[in-house]
Amino acid sequence: MIQREVIEGVQKQGANESIRWVVDCSPAPVSVVAVTVEDVTATPAVDVSGDVLSGSALMSATTITLPLLAGLTAGRRYVVRVRYSDGVNTVEPWFRIQAE
């Protein structure tokens, strides 16, 4: 069975930091379909991708380097989803970020 949530748990990112997160993928990526960021602090979650992501995702053999993630609000929780294709299947790993 494919594990979709990253095993490292909740990641921390400072409100003044800009990070290009890297996701190690299995199965290996052939194309990136979408990268989205949702603010899940309140219900319902709000898609903030256009406000916090810049640039494009990059692929190598088994990793996807995400667009630059910046401008998070301290105290808020986010979920980053990376939808990609392995050439046959579409897979969507995700991870949580706690902004500090």
Residues 77, 18 contacting (CB under 8 angstroms): no
With respect to residue 5, please indicate whether it lies within any of the assigned structural domains: no
Q: Per residue in 34-89, pLDDT tens?
A: 999 999 998 999 999 999 999 999 999 999 999 999 999 999 999 999 999 999 99
In a domain, 4, yes or no: no
User: How many structural domains comprise the chain?
Assistant: 1
pTM of the model: 0.92
* Distance of alpha carbon 96 from alpha carbon 9, whole angstroms: 7
Residue 6, in any domain of the structure: no
CB 29 within 8 A of CB 84: yes
Supply the CATH number for residue 95's domain: 2.60.40.1220
Query: Does 1 fall in a domain?
Result: no
| Boundaries of domain holding 36 | 11-99
In a domain, 81, yes or no: yes
Q: Is residue 61 part of a domain?
A: yes
CA dist 78 → 23, 64, 73 (Å): 16, 19, 10
Tell me if the bond preceding 67 is cis, omega within 30° of 0.
no
Residue 24: inside a domain, yes or no? yes
